[in-house]
Structure 1
Amino acid sequence: MITLQNVRKDYLVDKKSITALKKIDLTIERGEIFGIIGHSGAGKSTLIRCINLLEQPTSGSVIVDGKDLTQLSQGDLQRARHEIGMIFQHFNLLASATIYENIAFPLRLAKRPAAAIDRKVRELLDLVGLTDHATKYPSQLSGGQKQRVGIARALANDPKVLLCDEATSALDPMTTQSILKLLADINKTLGLTIVLITHEMHVIREICDRVGVIDEGEIVEVGPVAEVFLKPQQKITQEFVEQVSDFDFPEELLAQYLRMPEAERARHQVVQVSFLGDTTFQPVMFQVLQEHPVQFNILHGTISRIKDTPFGRLVLEITGDPGAAQKAVQNLQERGLQVEVLL
């Protein structure tokens, strides 16, 4: 659906060239919710604005639904942008216009018939849950309601792509959840491709299918969100994952084992087991115990979700003959679990 090929963006600041994006190669599939996460100044806002050419890349290609936007005339680019909606961190609503008129604004620019505009606006008000607020002004709405207006306005021209530029950063946690749920529902209902940028990993975990991590103008890691959470490859990705980790293993438990006499400790192994998807609710531990003469003691554990996928982590003490413990670990790995030996 969206392909960026060798995209680079340079700015001229005080007669010096500053590179914001370096050789970005990225593919976003039709119908997915793709997150781009990075720290402030990493280049994520520049990247998302290059997708609809609000920022003109210095070099490279931006292909959306089969069209290379960098090669289009101004008129063709304007028409192509009708298929790319965008919502912003600070809403960008018309303060002197009613909610109805804010949503109708892009339709009036497109010179749609009055009856079609009215029908579409009322449909969108219903979609975002603001039917009773049509005659109000932005100053009369909460932050979450303003963002719902922004979403409705972005959907007015029936886009194929929705770009979200830090869409929840100005909102409180509860309102953020409601907006993320709305975006997820829109993605499912309309089959819309959504690209969102954020510096908050919980947003990625909540609704994204895949994620790209950007650092100093480069995409350093891309993958399904569940895989990135369980197996982050880059240090910056590990830092983001740790921001939202609800797995805080008490270090004093490991210290207890380190104080054991060496001969006794040889019969105790401490491992961290990570599991994902259907495996989360299968009796894997029981099955392994049936096959190996060892004992499991659960020291710590959590079960959570990544979008619609359950995942969890357990810290286990495996007690028994070291050879049997090794085979038990191998059996867990053969069943698709990730096992890390802690001690």
Structure 2
Amino acid sequence: MITLQNVRKDYLVEKKSITALKKIDLTIERGEVFGIIGHSGAGKSTLIRCINLLEKPTMGSIIVDGQDLTRLSPSQLQTARREIGMIFQHFNLLSSATIYENIAFPLRLSKRSKSEIDKKVRDLLELVGLADHAKKYPAQLSGGQKQRVGIARALANDPKVLLCDEATSALDPMTTQSILKLLSDINKKLGLTIVLITHEMHVIREICDRVGVIDGGEIVELGPVAEVFLNPKQSITQEFVEQVSDFDFPEELLEQYKKMPAPERACHQVVQVSFLGDTTFQPVLFQVLQSLPVQFNILHGTINRIKDTPFGRLVLEITGEPDDARDAVKHLQERGLRVEVLL
């Protein structure tokens, strides 16, 4: 659906060339919710604005639904952009126009008939939960309601792609949750491809299918959200994961085991087990107990969700002969669990 090939973006600042994006190669599949996360200045805003050519790349190709936008004439690009909606952090609504008129604005630019506009605006107001607010002005709405207007306006021309530029960072946590749910519902109902940028990992965890981590103008880590979340490879990714980690294992427990005499400690192994998807609710520990003479003691654990996928972590004490404990770890791994030996 969206392919970026060898995309680079340079800016000239005080006669010096500053590189914002370095050789970005990225493919976003049709119908997926793709997140781009990075710190301020990492290049994420530049990247998302390159997708609809609000920022023209210095080099490289931007292909959206089979069209290379970098090769289009200004009039062709204007037509192509109608299939790429965009919502912004600070809403960008027309303050002197009603909610109805804000949503109708792109439809009027497309020269739709009055009846078409009226039907479309009312359908969109219904979709975003603002059917009773058509005659109000932006100043009369809350931040979350303004963003819903922004979403409705972005959907006015039936785009195939929706770009979200820090769409929830100006909102409180409860409102953020409602906007993310709305975007998820829109993705499912309309089959819309959504690309969002954020500096908040909980946004990625809540709504995205895949994520790209950007740092210094480069994508440094890329993959399904669950995989990146449970097995971050880069230190910056680990930073973001720690933002939302509710797994705070008490280190003093490990210290207690370290103080055991060596012969006794040899029969006590402490491991961290990560599980994802269907294995979350399977009796895996019970199955291992049936096949090996070991005991499990759950020291710490959580179960949560990444989008629609359940995941969790357990810290287990495995008590038994060293060979049996090693076999228990192997059995857990063979059942699709990630096992890290802590002690």
Same fold (TM over 0.5): yes
The 3-state SS of whatever aligns with 1:41 is coil
C-alpha deviations, 1:196-220, integer Å up to 9, x for none? 0000000000000000000000000
AA at the equivalent of 1:80: A
What are the residue-to-residue correspondences of 1:74-113 with 2, within 5 Å? Answer: 74-113=74-113
Tell me the equivalent position of 2:8. 8
Tell me the equivalent position of 2:216. 216
AA at the equivalent of 1:302: T
Structure 2 distance, partners of 1:73, 1:288, is 64
State the 1:189 CA deviation.
Answer: 0.1
What are the residue-to-residue correspondences of 1:276-315 with 2, within 5 Å? Answer: 276-315=276-315
Structure 1 distance, partners of 2:83, 2:229, is 32
Tell me the equivalent position of 1:342. 342
AA at the equivalent of 2:317: E
State the 1:247 CA deviation.
Answer: 0.3
Tell me the equivalent position of 1:130. 130
Tell me the equivalent position of 2:64. 64
What are the residue-to-residue correspondences of 1:192-231 with 2, within 5 Å? Answer: 192-231=192-231
C-alpha deviations, 1:205-249, integer Å up to 9, x for none? 000000000000000011000000111111111110011001000
Tell me the equivalent position of 2:274. 274
C-alpha deviations, 1:19-63, integer Å up to 9, x for none? 000000000000000000000000000000000000000000000
C-alpha deviations, 1:47-82, integer Å up to 9, x for none? 000000000000000000000000001110000000
Tell me the equivalent position of 2:176. 176
Structure 2 distance, partners of 1:239, 1:292, is 38
AA at the equivalent of 1:327: D
Structure 2 distance, partners of 1:292, 1:71, is 64
Tell me the equivalent position of 1:114. 114
Structure 1 distance, partners of 2:189, 2:139, is 30
State the 1:314 CA deviation.
Answer: 0.2
The 3-state SS of whatever aligns with 2:115 is helix
The 3-state SS of whatever aligns with 1:263 is helix
Structure 2 distance, partners of 1:292, 1:169, is 50
AA at the equivalent of 1:96: S
AA at the equivalent of 1:301: G
AA at the equivalent of 1:293: P
Structure 2 distance, partners of 1:246, 1:286, is 25
Unaligned runs of 5+ in 2: none
Structure 1 segments, 4+ long, off by >6 Å, are: none
- Percent identity, please: 86
The 3-state SS of whatever aligns with 1:174 is helix
Structure 2 distance, partners of 1:305, 1:102, is 36
C-alpha deviations, 1:108-163, integer Å up to 9, x for none? 01111000000000000000000000000000000000000000000000000000
Superposition TM-score, scaled by structure 2 size: 1.00
Tell me the equivalent position of 2:17. 17
Q: Does the alignment pair 1:48 with 2:42?
A: no
The 3-state SS of whatever aligns with 1:111 is coil
AA at the equivalent of 1:94: L
C-alpha deviations, 1:79-111, integer Å up to 9, x for none? 000000000000000000000000000000111
Structure 2 distance, partners of 1:289, 1:236, is 38
AA at the equivalent of 1:249: F
Superposition TM-score, scaled by structure 1 size: 1.00
The 3-state SS of whatever aligns with 1:25 is strand
Tell me the equivalent position of 1:240. 240
Tell me the equivalent position of 2:157. 157
C-alpha deviations, 1:142-200, integer Å up to 9, x for none? 00000000000000000000000000000000000000000000000000000000000
Give me the CA root mean square deviation: 0.3
